[in-house]
Amino acid sequence: MEATAEERLCSPAEYLENERRSDVKSEYIAGSVLAMAGASRRHNQITFNIAAELGSQLKNRPCAAYVNDMRVKVSKTGMYAYPDLSATCEPLEFEDTHSDTLLNPSLIIEVLSDSTEAYDRGEKFAHYRKLDSLKEYVLVAQDKMRFEHYARQGEKWLLTEFSREDEILRLESIGCELPLKEIYDKVEKQVSE
């Protein structure tokens, strides 16, 4: 999702109360509420393709995967965010009985856009790294065929890049694979440069 400049300060409890009543999604960091805007056609197609691949591979397995309407909370920093996709094969942990705020994703995937790329790579990833459960973080370009896969190696993160149509990203944390060719299906050919 792309962020707009409209921000206001509130407590985490006020944020959740307002968010659960709102038709518009917002993220929350340190008292600031950041309204989210709609995504491009490419962004939506890539997100759909990833969800379809994960959905078919996770079928009949004790795992859960969610698209961008499942909020994730980083308890150590107090950030609430809406990743494009999140998943885990561990028992689900939610903030409360609403079951709309996941606390323990093992995988988070963000599809990059011009307005969110720096945030997704920088501050947002810094918050996500505080999730003890997080094993893999994937950034997916929408303007070219490219995945950046970050895998937790103890206290460090190992980056592996994928940019060829015949490459397959193996997601160890959930036992799935993402073939680049399938993820960029129906996305303009210019992204395969």
Starting at the edge strand that comes first in sequence, how are the strands of the sheet with 147-153 ordered?
64-67, 85-88, 107-111, 136-140, 147-153, 156-162
Residue 3 confidence (pLDDT) above 90: no
Using pLDDT thresholds of 50, 70 and 90, give the confidence band for residue 188. Answer: confident
Alpha-carbon distance 31 to 33, whole Å? 7
0.95 exceeded by pTM: no
Q: Are 181 and 166 in contact (CB under 8 A)?
A: yes
Q: What is the pLDDT of residues 126-178, one digit of tens each?
A: 999 999 999 999 999 999 999 999 999 999 999 999 999 999 999 999 999 99
The yes or no reply on domain 39-192 and CATH 3.90.1570.10 is yes
Nearest to 108 by CA among 182, 25, 50: 50
DSSP class per residue in 105-163: -SEEEEE--TTTHHHHHTHHHHHHTT-TT--EEEEE-SSSS-EEEEEEETTEEEEEEE-
- Tokens (6 digits) for 88: 């885990």
Q: What is the Cα–Cα distance from 114 to 111, expressed in whole angstroms?
A: 10
